[in-house]
Structure 1
Amino acid sequence: MASSRSSRARVVKLPVRRSRASARPRPRTQDLVAYGRTVVEAEARAIGAVPLDDAFATAVRWILGCKGRVVVTGMGKPGFVAQKISATLASTGTPSLYVHPAEAAHGDLGRIARDDLVFALSNSGETEEILRLLPSLKKIGAKIVAITADRANRLARAADLVIAIGNVEEACPMGLAPTASTAVLLAVGDAISMTVLANRPFDREEYALFHPGGKLGRGLMKVHELMRGESSNPVVREDAPLAAAVAVMTETPGRPGATSVVAADGTLVGIFTDGDLRRLVEHGETDFARPVSSAMCRGPKTVRPDALVVDAARVLRQARIDQVPVVDEAGRPVGLLDVQDLLAAKIL
């Protein structure tokens, strides 16, 4: 016989234990912002207190006189800073590379040569992966510059030059995570890079050469690098029939939406565009035997081949036009810059 006890399972309610995190009150926005500000201020104070001295100047002179490359190394968070410093140097005219200290101990030391200059970043100066490299670097003959807290640690004692950043108090609430110290390392690296840049010949064109794929580099391009020249540059005489102008616009490679119009001596006198053509058709003016000079725009905006592309783009925007002739010193059209070229190069 079945038991009279209910077949339902007995539900036992256990006390709910709240985690320490859920029991903690939700922080207010102003408190979060205030704490974030203390971190920023702590790092700013640390950077402002960096005691740059003669060692800094010597490091800059060594880079300016370096016949090899500037090798930057660091482990952990300073390693990421080292990569950035190396990238900044390389992009501003100083041949540089980053070498991971652990990988260096397994063969990458072969990247370093006698004429190179090695910058080793370590706040404590006791990073084992870097210390392990020092005897080999000495044998190679590369000079070693330590960027570290003081001149008493093992890295500093083995280096040829020490840039001491001082004992930096971290912005971490536990005083452990590299924060202010890495900010200082980065600031010192930037100071070195920019001081080197300010004391060596390196112009905007060279900077653009090293940044062809970025917005900065594109902004430093010259018009002659982007314009449509030679066979892609449509040109007609002012006494040519309108039909000839339309044919040139159609048959020129890339089918530009305009053609430069020149006088008998080859100097620019006007421009005829597909917009001008549409307006003629809209008004029923379809006599294509008439000279193009009767329908062209006289005295058009122009740019020079050595002008910056960004300046040429400004001309197009302000004049609300899609094409601008590129003229030489004598006023002869040597190219045509089209808004589509600017869009393709991501200038606009």
Structure 2
Amino acid sequence: MVCVGTSPQERPLVVWIDLATPPQVLFFRPIVAELERRGHSVAITARDFSETVLLLKQFGLEAAVIGWHGGKTLVGKAFAILRRTGGLLAYARAKGFAVAVSHNSYAQALAASVLRLPLVTLMDYEHQPANHVAFRLARRVIVPEVFPADALRRYGVSESKAQRYRGIKEEVYLADFTPDPVLLPGLGIPSAAIVVTVRPPATMATYHRFENPLFDKVVRYLLGKPGVCVVFLPRVPEQGRRLVDEGFPNLVVPRAPLDGPNLIYHSDLVIRGGGTMNREAAVLGTPVYTVYKGRLGAVDRYLLDCGRMSLIACERDISHIVLRKKDGSPQAFGRPGLLAEVVEMILTTTESTLSKRTHHASTV
């Protein structure tokens, strides 16, 4: 006997989103809004790491804060992930979630597996070793169109399990970006200054386990240039204090977290050791250099190949950095329709699971 009822597409769902880093707050903010606009409920959990919790409060997103970062050592990371997995299990066990979604949250992947909860993971860097965990446990793996097919196969992802979206993930959440004209004056930066925003490498990440002396040389080169104002965004307070103590007159170390995309838009140049900020600059039309010393991912190679990013590979390249005021011509940001495309990929995974459950229940 087959029962007729509400189709999965019409059912309001409860979606569980887990956030582990500050950029993930920016990425999922419009996804949460779009899910809620479609009538679904969203529950958010977050790891207490860097500015993640502060950004959630800034955007008015409520979240259950569970767990912390494990530090630089692999043992510390593993312990923190396992402990956080236990916390997420306790949180999610009786919530009735339809699907778990994250940008490669390993703790959520483990918790969802134990709870037999469909997992959707998104990722845009193919050299992350822990992809082996999240990708294999996921029901759906969502990646940019330039993500290498051989990397997906290496992590156990079949073509039917993977879905690709156009462009890059930063175009998902920057489509509704609006510049804030008072940001730089609020930092005390003269309008005539060439503003260079720099951020150190993610040395605590599992894919970046070494120091980068080249980045330090780049920072000191910039601080020695007249007419340049360096906005330094430390990952940990000691990084900022070290430079402040040296008394550079053209150094700005913000006292509180800033709106990253707005700072990037109003900068004349961005230099970072890889990561989200570089790709945001490429989308927002700000010249950007990467000093990343690890293995470049396909997304960064794509941006380098099309001239939207430049690479500082050695000390000789430092003197070739172009320092000038950016052309402030208006432009469109993001990629129209991309947000809806990604949300559809998440929901179709859930709807497929519910359809199977409904069919099984109706034929018993």
TM-score of the superposed pair, with normalisation by structure 2: 0.28
Query: Larger relative CO (CA 8 A, sep 6+): 1 or 2?
Result: 2
Q: Which has the larger radius of gyration?
A: 1
